Structure 1
Amino acid sequence: MAQPEIPEPVASFVEAVNRHDEQAFLDAFTADGVVDDWGRVFPDRDSIKTWSDTEFLGARGVLTPEEVTVDGTQVTVIGDWRSNHANGRSSFTFEVDGGRVARMTIREG
């Protein structure tokens, strides 16, 4: 199955995650970027890094996109998430602002 086309900057974000590139992952966020992981909110770069070190990049996570929808500045990628921490179909919704990710929300896919 061919992977769906993902618009920038989300495409580069997913690529950074899948190659476990911490610098590119963190730099993809706006200065006040936020991660909402199933209701747990990480409101700044330091807390995003701490979360990612154990549950995202540090858990060797890989996202295989299956569906993509775009609604204005919101991009939702639904796909198969595999890591040492959690596995399964998940929905990643990105709020894009000025070529960066302002917010990433993770929910059940």
Structure 2
Amino acid sequence: MTIQTSKLSDPAVRAFVSAVNAHDRQAFLDTLTPDATMSDDGSDRDLADWIDREIFSSHGHMEVDNESQGGRSLVARYRNDAWGEMRTRWSFTIEDDGRISHFDTGQA
């Protein structure tokens, strides 16, 4: 059963998922700290390159199936034009200012 984005527990994660699904690059970047990092399947990736390729140029979309750790870990069905749909896990490190300093994703 999918969790509506508006019902996600953590405000930063909710804003992140909303920005992905709206294809709103600026809103997405606003959820991140200036020095944010990310990894995919445990390997560090170039954030700007990855988000362009995996989210914005390929119309990425997340449907969250469940959340844990206060909403900072998700299991979601993620789809984009490059890879189709896959079951993915996401985890987020959120700073005191409410922005994401790191996220990790990969196949679930």
Which sections of structure 1, spanning at least 5 residues, go unmatched?
none
> Is residue 89 from structure 1 mapped to residue 92 from structure 2 by the alignment?
no
Q: Secondary structure at the residue paired with 1:99? A: coil
Q: Which residue of 2 aligns with 1:28?
A: 31
State the distance in 1 between where 2:74 and 2:56 align.
Answer: 17
Question: Per-residue displacement from partner, 1:17-73 (whole Å, max 9, x unpaired)?
Answer: 00100011112111211110123313xxxx4222211122221000000100125xx
Q: Secondary structure at the residue paired with 2:69? A: strand
Displacement after TM superposition at 1:89 (Å): 0.5
- Contact 1:17/1:61 (<8 A) preserved: yes
Normalising by structure 1, we get a TM-score of 0.84
Normalising by structure 2, we get a TM-score of 0.85
Question: Per-residue displacement from partner, 1:69-88 (whole Å, max 9, x unpaired)?
Answer: 125xx700111001012220
CA RMSD of aligned residues (A): 1.7
Kindly, what percent of the aligned residue pairs are identical?
26
Q: Which letter does structure 2 place at the counterpart of 1:26?
A: L
Q: Which residue of 2 aligns with 1:75?
A: 72
Moved over 6 A (4+): none
State the distance in 2 between where 1:37 and 1:53 align.
Answer: 14
State the distance in 2 between where 1:78 and 1:2 align.
Answer: 10
- Contact 1:65/1:78 (<8 A) preserved: yes
Which sections of structure 2, spanning at least 5 residues, go unmatched?
none
Aligned residues: 103
